Amino acid sequence: MQTQKPAAPRGPKPNPNTRDNLIRAGMRMFHEAGYTASGIKDIVDEAGLPKGSFYNHFESKEAFGEQVIDFYFEKGLPELRALLGDGNVPPLKRLQTYFEERMQGYEAAGYAGGCMLGNLSLEVADQSTAMRSRLAEHFETWSGLLETCIVQAQRTGAMKNQLPASLLARFLLNSWEGALVRMKAEKSNRPLKEFVQAVFGSILV
Amino acid sequence: MQTQKPAAPRGPKPNPNTRDNLIRAGMRMFHEAGYTASGIKDIVDEAGLPKGSFYNHFESKEAFGEQVIDFYFEKGLPELRALLGDGNVPPLKRLQTYFEERMQGYEAAGYAGGCMLGNLSLEVADQSTAMRSRLAEHFETWSGLLETCIVQAQRTGAMKNQLPASLLARFLLNSWEGALVRMKAEKSNRPLKEFVQAVFGSILV
């Protein structure tokens, strides 16, 4: 077993609750107002913490942004896995239920916010390779979960479309992200409803 | 005939070239860095003009944003109309050529920037009803041009998909915007290539 040298203490010991509170505050702000519009001062204020606490936990706003992105995706991941991996429900039905439930969530939110991964992809991808990589990786994981359903639906014959499942999964997720772009521009659920209608009424079946 | 009262002169007469230069500078900056990250000072500096010139032409950054959005869409509109309305080319081929040419443009730009309408939809739609309305209106015009091709392709039998042409046109445009989200996250043309492959290899035909 490898012996790990404890890190030399420098300044006050970071409080893990503080770190968590900052990440949750940052997530709310990035989601509502965007990355650029949310200054570190705004984030610590939102978390009710002194400004110094930020740099006890994060070396830069960009490093913080990476962790906010990871936190946002990972908090939804167990539910996503459970829903899309539920063997008691036919695979195509699982996919449709997933998108319809997300639509209901966006309706309840008045079409504000949208998907933080999509928002940040357009806002910060050109400025930060580090954040961009986190976004690309999470999109890949997400597509992979859709792909599992598509493979099963193609095998059972429920899905007629025989394009490669991995391509179809990425196309589906990207189309959904695009429906969210139009949802925010229109402030209506029409793009999401039409996504469901096109995908489950024609494209996949 | 109605007699119009001329507006009372207030301060120096606005120079239309100045206005145009500000709009072009704003478009470059909003496209590269986003709306929030581009301050009025940055925009006048980019245009090589004094700060006061901005308020001779625009009453607020938001009003300026609306005009930048209109300018961006309208400058591409003649080419869009010409390409999608070219009766010498079969309608499905026109659509595919359009998306492939856009893809080549994004490749040449190294996948930076993307579509300013999509970027601003995610960045400012929640904050500005005025800008949001301009975005929604331009998306509608754009969808309408795609729809014309789809109607023709459905009539000639070149397109098997018989979903309503208007729905299909909006779905297509939204999916394209989503492919651009993923393009920026991945910094690759894969999402755009897969869009073309899925749409013209399966979904429409």
The domain in which residue A42 lies consists of 12-58
Do B89 and B186 share a structural domain?
yes
Residue among B36, B121, B191 whose CB faces A184 most closely: B121
Q: Is residue A75 part of a domain?
A: yes
B174 lies in some domain: yes
Interface check B60 vs A, CB under 8 A: no
Q: Provide the domain count of chain B.
A: 2
Give, to the nearest 10 degrees, the angle between helix A129-156 and helix A116-124. Answer: 140
HEC string of B68-121 equals HHHHHHHHHHHHHHHHHCCCCCCHHHHHHHHHHHHHHHHHHCCCCCCCHHHHHH
Is residue B7, in this structure, part of any structural domain at all?
no
* Residues A149 and A91 sit within 8 Å (Cβ to Cβ): yes
A30 and A116 belong to one structural domain = no
CB atoms within 10 A of CB A62: 15
Q: What is the DSSP letter of A60?
A: S
CATH number at residue A28: 1.10.10.60
On whether both A17 and A109 belong to a single domain, the answer is no
Of A32, A173, A175, the CB nearest to B174: A175
Q: Residue A162 has what pLDDT?
A: 87
Q: The tokens of A172 are what?
A: 């589906």
Chain A nearest-CA distance from B33, in A, is 8
Between helix B129-156 and helix B165-186 the angle, nearest 10°, is 120
The answer to whether residue B132 is domain-embedded is yes
Same domain, A120 and A166: yes
Within a domain: residue A3?
no
Q: CB pairs under 8 A, 24+ apart, for A76-82?
A: A77/A141, A80/A142, A80/A145, A81/A145
* Mean pLDDT for the stretch of residues B51-79: 96
- pLDDT at residue B142 tops 70: yes
Give pLDDT, residue A10: 55
Chain B closest-CA separation from residue A94 CA (Å): 21
Q: A163, B37: Cβ pair inside 8 Å?
A: no
A34, part of any domain: yes
* Stretch B60-68: mean pLDDT: 98
State the nearest Cα–Cα gap between B148 and chain A, in angstroms. 18
Average per-residue pLDDT for chain B: 93
Mutate to test the interface with A, among B28, B122, B150 (most CBs of A within 10 A): B122
Q: Does residue B141 belong to the interface with chain A, where contact is any CB pair within 8 Å?
A: no
Q: What is the pLDDT of residue A205?
A: 86
Residues A166 and A69 in one domain: yes
Q: What is the SS3 string spanning chain B?
A: CCCCCCCCCCCCCCCHHHHHHHHHHHHHHHHHHCCCCCCHHHHHHHHCCCCHHHHHHCCCHHHHHHHHHHHHHHHHHHHHHHHHCCCCCCHHHHHHHHHHHHHHHHHHCCCCCCCHHHHHHHHHCCCCHHHHHHHHHHHHHHHHHHHHHHHHHHHHCCCCCCCCHHHHHHHHHHHHHHHHHHHHHHCCCHHHHHHHHHHHHHHCC
Cβ burial of A78 (10 Å; 0-12, 13-18, 19+) is exposed
Q: Are residues B39 and B66 in the same domain?
A: no
- List the single residue in B with minimal CA-CA distance to A122: B119
Distance CA B203, CA B43 (A): 43
Nearest Cα of chain B lies from the Cα of A159 at a distance, in angstroms, of: 13
A177 touches B at CB < 8 Å: yes
Distance CA A92, CA A157 (A): 10
| Res. B21: pLDDT tops 50 | yes
By C-alpha distance, which of B84, B110, B116, B108 is closest to B98? B84
Examine residue B5 and state whether it is found in any structural domain, yes or no. no
Q: Chain B contacts of A121, Cβ < 8 Å?
A: 181-182, 184-185
Question: Closest Cα of chain A to B9: distance in Å?
Answer: 37
Residue B98 shares a structural domain with residue B47: no
Is residue A193 located within the same domain as residue A93?
Answer: yes
Structure tokens at B179: 């492919």
Report yes or no: A63 at the B interface, CB cutoff 8 Å. Answer: no
Q: What is the pLDDT of residues B159-198, one digit of tens each?
A: 989 899 999 999 999 999 999 999 999 999 999 999 999 9
Same domain (yes/no): B41, B89: no
The nearest alpha carbon in chain A to B166 belongs to A194
Residue B96 within a domain: yes
Select the residue of A33, A132, A190 nearest B187 (Cβ to Cβ): A132
Distance CA A42, CA A45 (A): 5
Same structural domain, B158 and B179: yes
Q: Does the distance separating the beta carbons of B182 and A125 come in below 8 Å? A: no
Spell out the per-residue pLDDT of chain A, length 205, in tens: 444 544 444 556 678 799 999 999 999 999 999 999 999 999 999 999 998 999 999 999 999 999 999 999 999 999 999 999 999 999 999 999 999 999 999 999 999 999 999 999 999 999 999 999 999 999 999 999 999 999 999 999 999 898 999 999 999 999 999 999 999 999 999 999 999 999 999 999 8
A106 and A48, same structural domain?
no
Query: Domain with B76 in it: what CATH number?
Result: 1.10.357.10
Clarify whether residues B32 and B73 are in a common domain: no
